[in-house]
Structure 1
């Protein structure tokens, strides 16, 4: 056989091999490659979707944290205002109680002063009568004595 016939036979065998490959081998390979490309595209789109969901979740978390911080700051401010109010109320009550105690002490001191004046008047009246008795060197009768004491008390 010559080189031309061998070449033609090889060309025919090659063309049959190409036809067989194109008809039976290439479509499953292309289909597998297409499926794989589709899976990769789906994975990429799922990754993009997950990334956008992650960004949205982070934004929601930040918003919730900001709201929680604001709420906590508001609660702290409310607690401070309440504490200040309680302190002011306690001061007011203490001042009122102090004023009541001072007023009671002043009233008691006034009563003691009045009692002391009465006792002093009685003593001064007794001393005045005793002095008058000694000056006169005579005894004053009980009725006159009581009358004298009454007048002295009134004058003092």
Structure 2
């Protein structure tokens, strides 16, 4: 056999191999590659969509956190204001109650003073009557009167 014949036979075998490959082997490989490319594209699309959803969720979480912080700060401020109001009200009530107690004590002290004066007056009156009684029972004598008045002073 000659080189030309061998070359022609190899070309025919090669062409048959190419035709067989193009007809039976190439379509499933191309389909598998297309399907793989489609899955990769879908995966990338899903990843981009998930990233966008994650960013949106992060944004919503930050908004909710900011709102919660603002609400908490507002509640704390309200609680502090209420506490201050309660403290001021308690101070006012305590001051008023203290003033009432002082006024009541002062009134009671005044009453006690008045009662003591009245009792003292009654005692002085009783002693004066007693002294006058003793003076009148005895004879009128300046020395005796001075002595009786001295005793009356000591009793007062």
Is TM-score (shorter-chain normalized) higher than 0.5?
A: yes
Shift of 1:20: 1.5
Q: 2:94 corresponds to which residue?
A: 94
Taking structure 2 as the reference length, the TM-score comes to 0.80
How far apart are the structure 2 equivalents of 1:95 and 1:50? 66
How far apart are the structure 2 equivalents of 1:8 and 1:134? 179
Q: 1:11 corresponds to which residue?
A: 11
Q: 1:73 corresponds to which residue?
A: 73
Shift of 1:126: 2.6
Q: How many pairs align?
A: 139
Shift of 1:108: 0.8
**Alignment gaps of 5+ in structure 2:** 140-156
Q: 1:121 corresponds to which residue?
A: 121
Q: 2:106 corresponds to which residue?
A: 106
Residue by residue, what CA displacement relative to the aligned partner does 1:72-110 show, whole Å, maximum 9, x if unpaired? 222222221222111112111111111111111111111
How far apart are the structure 1 equivalents of 2:99 and 2:133? 50
How far apart are the structure 2 equivalents of 1:66 and 1:57? 14
Residue by residue, what CA displacement relative to the aligned partner does 1:21-72 show, whole Å, maximum 9, x if unpaired? 1122111111110000010010011111111111111111111111111122
* Greater RCO (Cα-Cα under 8 Å, separation 6 or more): 1
How far apart are the structure 1 equivalents of 2:91 and 2:45? 68
Q: 1:28 corresponds to which residue?
A: 28
Q: 2:56 corresponds to which residue?
A: 56
How far apart are the structure 1 equivalents of 2:19 and 2:125? 154
More divergent stretch after superposition (94-103 vs 121-130): 121-130
CA RMSD of aligned residues (A): 1.9
